[in-house]
Structure 1
Amino acid sequence: MEIVRYNPVYSIEWDDFVGKSKNGTFLFMRHYMDYHADRFADHSLMFYQEGKLVALLPANEADSVLYSHQGLTYGGFILSIHNSAVQVLALMDILLQYLREHDFVRLVYKCIPHIYHRYPAEEDLYALFRKEARLMVRNLATVVPTKKMMKSSRLKRAKKRAEKESLRVEECGDAAIFWKIIEDDRWEQHGVKPLHTKEEMNLLHGYFPENIRFFLVKDAFENIFAGSVIYDSNIVTHLQYAAATREGKDIYATDVLYYELINSLFPENEYFDFGTSNENAGWYLNVGMSAHKEEFGGRGIAYDIYEINI
């Protein structure tokens, strides 16, 4: 088996493999990975066996550590349905050999949560176990299984609120329309700015218009009460950003948004992922935030990060 470090010459081959893989999402497409290339020193790897591409590892390097990947929600090996358990064990072996040869001191490996897999793809977890990898982070996301979700009185009330306030959810094509709502909410709630700017969100939306989508909550007079960014992986509807104005909070505008996103707007998807509610490498759970998400029928899915000292 041979490892080739990614460079832009391989972009078409890379994206083609991601599209046909059993666990890759659009976050691993080069347009998405490369939009923040100025912030992360890319060190993605491509694995070939007898001249055929068999796996990818989206990665960046910093301070002699290989991360997969600091700029992404999840990372790890991108695999095809043809990868066997034995082959993935070999991938891990050759990866660690490569890291030793290139003077890396540590591997930090973000796993892809199983809800994003199109076909079973947890061979990497077994390979990590065999290498005695240490679980360094476990964040807990709240996820609604939309095809078999429990009853939610909060969602039931949201439908009634939409009718009472004449609220509707409408898709838009420009993040600038609602981005100040996102910024104000992030600052008021957490004292931070969003990870993305509105310009970055519009750039990414232009690259992936079917996967990155913007939704507003409006009333009959076209007043905007909430805005959101949705990442659609065709299996999981992921809530990347959502916030309401102060008036929108009074009428529970985001509840109306969640009702439509979960029940109507993505009928083919199997999960709605509210995202994680953790700080401090998972040791702190924001109980209020987690409980709020659970009111909509969500329950826990782990987002794990492992490390191996080289």
Structure 2
Amino acid sequence: MRYVSRNRPFVVRKGASSFPAFQKWNADYLSSTMKDLPVKVARTPCGNADSVLPIGNEGHVFIKPHEIEQPFRHVLEKIQEQELCPGRFAGPTCYAQTQNDNLRNEYASLFDDVPKSIPFARVALEKEPDAINFWLGNSHSTTALHKDNYENIYVQIIGQKHFVLLPPVESPCVNEKSLLAATYKPRDIELSEEDLIVQIDEPKEYVPFATWDPDAREQNGTTYSPYSRPLRVTLSEGDMLYLPALWYHKVSQTCSSEGICCAVNYWYDLDFSGSFWAMSNFVRGAGLVSLQQN
């Protein structure tokens, strides 16, 4: 509760080792439980969903994945094939990452294998989770540096997750810009579902998004970026991360021997009534003004 009150991340090593999911989940169990139930899957050419993409005369765009609905077993097989048999793999990178409370909806067959809430979070945050999400992918999928308006309890079940974390006070370092929104679409749906191209969204929309990558510090930085001190943490199987609201995070992953990486996360809505939301926005706004003046 002290760490939560200070908006500080922490890891509970093997904090999920009592979850049935930790004890039971593997590729065979997931396949036999979900069978051919339809699930939404995000598809991208190189695992770069929700990220910054250089493009022609537009400079950079905020790119979103192409989403389709497919049988779960087919999605699982494609994820494994890309990781385990890259020589024969054809087609885009697949990532089950709908982030819409999917574990209580399309993945409801698996929901009994995890707790309905995390006890310490229920006490510290004084609420139940707004969403519980299931994540399944391979090492080709990454998540670009971004922040969420949620308190996040991230539970690693299979494989490893690698986080790069920046506190909200470092928002002037991330070079936030309003980027034109775009989505990957098939070039010709009649001919090939595998050939994805970038299509600007209509009507046009601009999304504020970090353009600086803490792993490429010399590129797209601001005058404040050299002062950033990212925290780095790896979650192994059974580990649990408290990721506070508004912390910037970049995520990559390492697969198990079965060629998959699987996690569950609990989102608790941010309390907007206190000083934290106002102070974080003040720091962000002051940083943006300062950079514009420079």
Please indicate the TM-score interval, normalised by the length of the shorter structure.
under 0.3
Q: Which has the higher contact order (CA 8 A, sep 6+)?
A: 2
TM-score for both structures, normalised by structure 1: 0.25
Q: Which has the higher strand share?
A: 2
TM-score for both structures, normalised by structure 2: 0.26
Structure with higher Rg: it is 1
Q: Which has the higher helix share?
A: 1
